[in-house]
């Protein structure tokens, strides 16, 4: 593993999706991509030139090997992706929405190798050596008791090792319900180790068990952030996007970043004729980590995060395929006529 890499811990998934404009199994094919919230962050960071390393578990079969290889294709260090005899490959099915039909995700992750892995199966001391960040998300502990314990262990080890934790709320009520997990409790613990949180007022409300009023989304987020900064001394930054959904493939996105000293918002970006919305939040997280790792100031890092998130909506698949040139193009106004 490279010096000063960003470590991502979470489940690798296969996404099986219906062709655009079709419902699941309307025709006899499924398009397959590799994804998973934390893997998406790792792949995006690697594409942007940062050393990124993944910690995960996959089954010892053709599916597990393929998922790991695809992550490697994007330049992520996969030495920490363990292969195991037990369990199956985590899947999810996606029916992309259209016109007034909402996109729908059908999770099929029960009994996965990741879910079955023992919480102590990872040697965090060696994995965290030379890491600049540990990135986690709220999807991981939602998978089951083992995964929740593993996520907490990871966060604790990072705090111990002095590695700052980036945590993306990603609350998935359906997953927690499947095993009656204490979502708010576990997220509270994880946030207490977090330096950079991706969370909006609903995430914080859930954890602090308290609602945050306000006339605008930004006002509500500021109030929630204040409460979060009070509750979690280690926490330095809370970032989120305000997503205004006009239709399944037509959104407006605005980026926000709140620190203990200030608050920033970007201009709203109209994203019409979206190709693939999945992974947009992960691209936002990757962009912000990218900016922070490069020593950018908060406003610049936020703009980088937004450019990254917006571009993701125009690329098929969970993993982002992005170049520095494209980011610069968006930061400069972007979306122009053919470049020859």
- Per the CB < 8 A criterion, the answer to whether 306 and 269 are in contact is yes
Binding-residue total with a second copy (CB under 8 A): 83
Contacting residue, 31, 130, 156, 226, with a second copy by CB under 8 A: 31
Contacting residue, 29, 210, 260, 324, with a second copy by CB under 8 A: 29
Q: 194: closest CA among 158, 230, 247, 150?
A: 158
Residue 258, phi-psi category: left (phi > 0), alpha (psi -120 to 50), beta (remainder): beta
Least CB distance to a second copy at residue 198 (A): 16
Does residue 49 belong to the site contacting a second copy (CB under 8 A)?
no
| Sites for a second copy among residues 74-103 (CB under 8 A) | 74-75, 88-89, 93, 95, 97-103
Kindly name the residue from 168, 249, 282, 298 that is annotated as catalytic: 282
Q: Is 340 exposed, middle or buried (0-12, 13-18, 19+ CB in 10 A)?
A: exposed
| Sites for a second copy among residues 266-325 (CB under 8 A) | 269, 271-278, 307, 310-311, 313-317, 321
User: In the stretch 180-219, what mask flags binding to a second copy with x, by CB under 8 A?
Assistant: ----------------------------------------
Does residue 254 belong to the site contacting a second copy (CB under 8 A)?
no
Least CB distance to a second copy at residue 190 (A): 20
Sign for the CA dihedral angle at 53, 139, 112, 17 comes to negative
Contacting residue, 7, 12, 16, 283, with a second copy by CB under 8 A: 16
State both tokens at 266.
């970007």
| Sites for a second copy among residues 164-183 (CB under 8 A) | 172, 174
Pairing of strands 250-259, 237-247: antiparallel
Contacting residue, 11, 38, 203, 249, with a second copy by CB under 8 A: 249
Query: Distance (Å, rounded) from C-alpha 16 to C-alpha 281?
Result: 20
Among residues 227 and 275, whose Cβ is nearest to a second copy? 275
- Per the CB < 8 A criterion, the answer to whether 253 and 268 are in contact is yes
Query: How many CA atoms within 13 Å lie on the side-chain side of 24?
Result: 12
Collect all residues with Cβ–Cβ distance below 8 Å to 132 and sequence separation of at least 6: 4, 5, 6, 163, 164, 293
Can you state the angle between helices 217-231 and 201-208, rounded to 10 degrees? Answer: 40
Q: 55: closest CA among 144, 151, 148?
A: 151
Does residue 135 belong to the site contacting a second copy (CB under 8 A)?
no
User: In the stretch 228-247, what mask flags binding to a second copy with x, by CB under 8 A?
Assistant: ---------------x-xxx
Check if 123 is active-site. no
Among residues 72 and 153, whose Cβ is nearest to a second copy? 72
Collect all residues with Cβ–Cβ distance below 8 Å to 233 and sequence separation of at least 6: none
Query: Distance (Å, rounded) from C-alpha 137 to C-alpha 235?
Result: 15
Least CB distance to a second copy at residue 78 (A): 9
Does residue 33 belong to the site contacting a second copy (CB under 8 A)?
yes
Does residue 326 belong to the site contacting a second copy (CB under 8 A)?
yes
Among residues 62 and 162, whose Cβ is nearest to a second copy? 62
Contacting residue, 2, 4, 26, 234, with a second copy by CB under 8 A: 26
Q: Which residues are tagged catalytic? A: 282
């Amino acid at each position: 593993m490279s010096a000063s890499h960003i470590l991502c811990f979470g489940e690798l998934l296969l996404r099986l999706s219906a062709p655009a404009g079709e419902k699941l199994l309307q025709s006899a094919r499924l398009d397959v991509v590799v994804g998973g919230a934390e893997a998406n962050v790792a792949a995006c960071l690697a594409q942007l030139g940062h050393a990124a390393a993944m910690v995960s578990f996959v089954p010892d079969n053709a599916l597990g090997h393929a998922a790991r290889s695809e992550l490697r294709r994007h330049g992520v260090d996969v030495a920490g992706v363990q292969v195991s005899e037990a369990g199956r490959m985590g899947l999810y099915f996606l029916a992309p929405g259209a016109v007034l039909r909402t996109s729908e995700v059908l999770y099929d992750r029960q009994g996965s190798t990741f879910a079955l892995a023992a919480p102590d199966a990872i040697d965090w001391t060696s994995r965290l050596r030379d890491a600049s960040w540990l990135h986690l998300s709220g999807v991981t502990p939602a998978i089951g008791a083992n995964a929740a314990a593993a996520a907490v262990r990871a966060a604790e080890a990072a705090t111990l090792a002095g590695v700052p934790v980036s945590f993306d709320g990603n609350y998935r009520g359906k997953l927690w319900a499947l095993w009656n997990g204490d979502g708010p409790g576990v997220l509270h613990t994880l946030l207490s180790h977090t330096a950079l949180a991706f969370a909006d007022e609903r995430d914080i409300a859930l954890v602090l068990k308290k609602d945050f009023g306000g006339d605008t989304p930004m006002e509500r987020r500021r109030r929630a952030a204040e409460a979060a900064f009070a509750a979690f001394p280690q926490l330095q930054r809370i970032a989120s996007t305000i997503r205004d959904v006009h239709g399944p493939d037509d959104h407006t996105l605005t980026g926000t970043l709140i620190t203990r000293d200030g608050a920033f918002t970007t201009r709203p970006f109209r994203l019409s004729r979206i190709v693939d919305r999945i992974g947009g939040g992960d691209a936002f997280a990757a962009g912000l980590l990218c900016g922070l790792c490069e020593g950018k100031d908060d406003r610049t890092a936020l703009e980088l995060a937004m450019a990254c998130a917006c571009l993701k909506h125009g690329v098929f698949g969970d993993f982002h395929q992005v170049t520095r040139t494209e980011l610069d193009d968006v930061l400069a106004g972007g979306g122009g006529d053919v470049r020859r």
